[in-house]
Structure 1
């Protein structure tokens, strides 16, 4: 389940990153479409957080477990933070922050999958 959910999270983050880049190039501000994608990404991240914490016992290495927990807890904070920043900042750089945040979510989710699949 973690692997499938990770693919959903990475896919949504790629879509959000691509849309934010397009918005930045066109010099558009955040709208309901981007907020909706960020909302779906946030929902998937909360489900990933719960599922990951339930199955944390599979990871035996203490360092990998700490990294896994830190990523799990940090991931749901990024989309609302970048969305809030984009709402407050009315420039092209707001879309850049959403793109960077979405990219970070995708990379961190892929790393979660690596840790999980190694110990699964």
Structure 2
């Protein structure tokens, strides 16, 4: 994948997790700042998904290629689902769900980079 895009995603996901963690500790709910960070990460995830689908042929193993595309296509759906839960749930734990979602997406982005680095 593109190293700057992966870096942007990791930084954005860490920022999202830190802000949501801070909100959890302070018993705050979802606001525009958190949504802005999530929107930036979401756009980067969509760009990554398009690049992954276009360049999947560069991966030699078909099983790894399938995993790569499945991760890339699944990633853009996680943050909207997590944010929807955070909007509907009006407790402090809604922000903990955002932290967990950001961590899950971060792990999957790392796995995408690992697969890509092994085959290119």
TM-score bracket, normalised by the shorter chain, equals over 0.9
Q: Between Structure 1 and Structure 2, how many residues are aligned?
A: 120
Structure 1 partner of 2:46? 46
What stretches of structure 1 of length at least 5 have no aligned partner?
A: none
Q: Deviations over 1:9-50 (max 9, x none)?
A: 111011101110000000000000000010000000000001
Structure 2 partner of 1:76? 76
Structure 2 partner of 1:36? 36
Alpha-carbon distance between aligned partners in 2 of 1:102 and 1:21, rounded to the nearest angstrom:
10
Alpha-carbon distance between aligned partners in 1 of 2:112 and 2:2, rounded to the nearest angstrom:
9
Structure 2 partner of 1:5? 5
TM-score by length of 2: 0.96
Alpha-carbon distance between aligned partners in 2 of 1:57 and 1:4, rounded to the nearest angstrom:
21
Greater displacement, 96-105 / 62-71 = 62-71
TM-score by length of 1: 0.96
4+ residue segments displaced more than 4 Å: none
User: 1:2: Cα distance to partner?
Assistant: 2.0
- Is the contact between residue 2 and residue 52 of structure 1 (CA under 8 Å) also seen in structure 2? no
User: 1:3: Cα distance to partner?
Assistant: 2.2
Alpha-carbon distance between aligned partners in 2 of 1:5 and 1:107, rounded to the nearest angstrom:
15
Structure 2 partner of 1:89? 89
In the alignment, does 2:65 pair up with 1:65?
Answer: yes
